[in-house]
Structure 1
């Protein structure tokens, strides 16, 4: 009988202990919920979106995450006249060191006119990745000092490493369109060169640079023109 009474007391004590733990746990959950609700309320009152805990301190808060077509800087590169692009190129710059100083690469779209071509050149520090959207053309590069021409069209990707001579031509009857990234997003790089020599559509093109001045401007922006061999 005494043994049964002791067992009953032990069971009662265990039940009371479990009940106390459960009540205490509920109280803690309520407090945590209140704290969370209070925090969200405070954030809402302040009008801030600080509920996200991601650290974006290394990213620029002035750069646009979404760039609309109308936001791109448009330039004519070597147009036929101020009113006609001709075999020149239409460049649309979406990302460069000025608009996205913290980005690792620049990003642009280029449309090379019918019959147009870029002179053979290389970049000592810059690599390029291009994706052809439409049109037909020829990409020129070198393997073991041997000149190669490769036909490119919609869907083709073209990678150029630093130090490689390269160029491309429009061989079709419509503009050859491509988008390309330049890495790194250097202040004095390929896009800066285009901005120096390009003009806004409809503006008179300036041709005041001598051949030596043009070559120096190109070189200063990591665009080295391939010397022309004279037989």
Structure 2
């Protein structure tokens, strides 16, 4: 086997990967597992998990240069995709192409947790820029606001359009 041609291989344990508490309106937390900045990859990508607190939501938005795959691991809620609502539950999977308006609501009694896979990457940089570092096992902080420059962070990372009124549920 030629070591120069071999790609990366990496295993993360349940508490490994960069974690970030997320601001309102999602609350909850993100765990960044892999990206083209943490492993050698031929393709640009980012992958991780997001947990949205019960009753909270990810405001509607688009990604003008990226595609996204979501796989629901636990909890219940709904997906808003191009103005239509669809129930999501463990085992639900969705592919979201460029410039498709979407958002998520954790409408159940439990947190909504899903795996996200983002191509060509960059979502991990957004989460790090707006969140606060999280140590596994620590209690959730009180809800905290988004940074004042969130619109600039969104523009320079992976967002096209975002709902400017995040105080409402989509």
- TM-score range for the pair, normalised by the shorter chain length: 0.7 to 0.9
Give the superposition deviation at 1:90. 1.3
Q: Find the aligned partners of 1:205 and 1:174 in 2 and give their Cα distance.
A: 17
Q: Tell me the SS of whatever aligns to 1:218.
A: helix
Distance 1:208 1:130, change over 3 A: closer
Out of 200, 208, 220, the position equivalent to 2:133 is 200
| Structure with the largest fraction of helix | 1
Give the number of the structure with larger relative contact order, counting CA–CA contacts within 8 Å between residues 6 or more apart.
2
| Deviations 1:68-87, CA, capped at 9 Å, x for gaps | 2232111110169xxxxxx6
Q: Find the aligned partners of 1:208 and 1:154 in 2 and give their Cα distance.
A: 28
Could you tell me whether the CA contact under 8 Å between 2:24 and 2:145 is conserved in 1? no
Q: Which residues of structure 1 form unaligned runs of 5+?
A: 1-51, 81-86
Determine the structure 1 residue equivalent to 2:23: 78
Out of 49, 57, 60, the position equivalent to 2:5 is 57
1:77-156 alignment to 2 at 5 Å?
Answer: 77-78=22-23, 88-102=27-41, 104=43, 105-142=45-82, 147-156=83-92
| Deviations 1:181-231, CA, capped at 9 Å, x for gaps | 11113xxx2211110011123679875843xx2111111101131355xxx
Determine the structure 2 residue equivalent to 1:181: 117
Q: Find the aligned partners of 1:135 and 1:56 in 2 and give their Cα distance.
A: 43
Q: Tell me the SS of whatever aligns to 1:69.
A: coil
Could you tell me whether the CA contact under 8 Å between 2:130 and 2:146 is conserved in 1? no
Q: TM-score, normalised by structure 1?
A: 0.61
Q: Find the aligned partners of 2:142 and 2:53 in 1 and give their Cα distance.
A: 18
Q: TM-score, normalised by structure 2?
A: 0.81
Q: CA RMSD in A?
A: 2.5
Q: Which residues of structure 2 form unaligned runs of 5+?
A: 166-170
| Deviations 1:141-198, CA, capped at 9 Å, x for gaps | 11xxxx100000011101100111110000000011111111113xxx2211110011
Give the superposition deviation at 1:66. 1.5
Distance 1:151 1:207, change over 3 A: closer
Distance 1:209 1:111, change over 3 A: closer
Greater C-alpha radius of gyration: 1
Aligned residues between the structures: 158
